[in-house]
Amino acid sequence: MKAGTGPAADAAVLPRGAGARTAGAVRGFAERAWLVALVAVLWELVTRAVDETYFPPPTTILASLHELWFAGPASHLFLTGKALDDFSASLTHLFAGWAAAGAAGVVLGAAIGRSQTLSDLLNPVLEFLRAVPPPTLVPFFIMVFQLGATMQIVTIAFGVVWPVLLNASDGVRAVDPLHLDTARVFGVGPLRRLVTVILPAAAPKIFAGLRVALSFALILMVLSELFGSTAGIGSELIGAQRSFELPRMWAGIVMLGILGFLFNTVFQLLERRLLAWHAGARRLQN
């Protein structure tokens, strides 16, 4: 056996490969984060020079953010009692509404994409409902469902179902007919064909719709919490605005930005992992 080969050498290569990937990830993050750091420094300098009440410096905002939500004990991951209440309420409503919209959008979108008759029948109604801004329906949802979790979840679900539905119908409609004909030749039934051929082929567009819907869900989560809610980030934000506690208000805004960034990053990682087969297939085709 030649020197430098064999199991021992292979084992030595693996950590170096993992280290290279980690170093590459850190380097990529640094390349993207420098602009954020620069903006934060400029923001700090300008706000301290101007000394405007409505625009506190980032250090003041971060101090308020820490005091509100991250000054708890280590046993609770440094989360305060208010953080547990606000985050649990907000995130439960957000993900419940997003999941309901995702399920309804995929089912209805797949049905519309597969049936031209159903598409022609439902398209006028769907186009009308899609054109109605979700905030204008909040008073209606309050009357029907009363103030509470149900109203907030319905508001989120109604507002974010459209990107999923439209992308699912377009993705299903764009499935290669050759794949469907091949499945029929091999005796694959309609339901199995839907699960094993149609939905996987439409998955990239469905995931794109879910990603857009998640961003909208964060916005509608805040909007739904502005009306009579006693817990949640939106409730904290409007309470701080009414009491003129501007650092707390800005802390809520920054927290929403952080959550939006985290949601998008995690969703991208999951999408990349779950659709790795699709990227591989495209590379083979090219």
pLDDT digits (tens, 9 = 90+) for 230-256: 778 888 888 888 888 888 999 999 999
Lowest-confidence pick of 57-66, 77-86, 213-222: 77-86
Query: What is the residue extent of each domain of the chain?
Result: 69-275
CATH: 3.30.43.10, 3.30.1490.20, 3.40.30.10, 1.10.3720.10. Which one for 69-275? 1.10.3720.10
Geometric angle at alpha carbon 90, from 40 and 39, rounded to 5°: 5
pLDDT band at 13 (very low <50, low <70, confident <90, very high): very low
Q: What is the mean pLDDT of the chain?
A: 83
Q: Is the pLDDT of residue 96 over 90?
A: yes
* pLDDT tens digits, 157-171: 999 999 999 999 999
Q: Nearest to residue 210, comparing CAs of 121, 144, 120, 271? A: 271
pLDDT band at 23 (very low <50, low <70, confident <90, very high): low
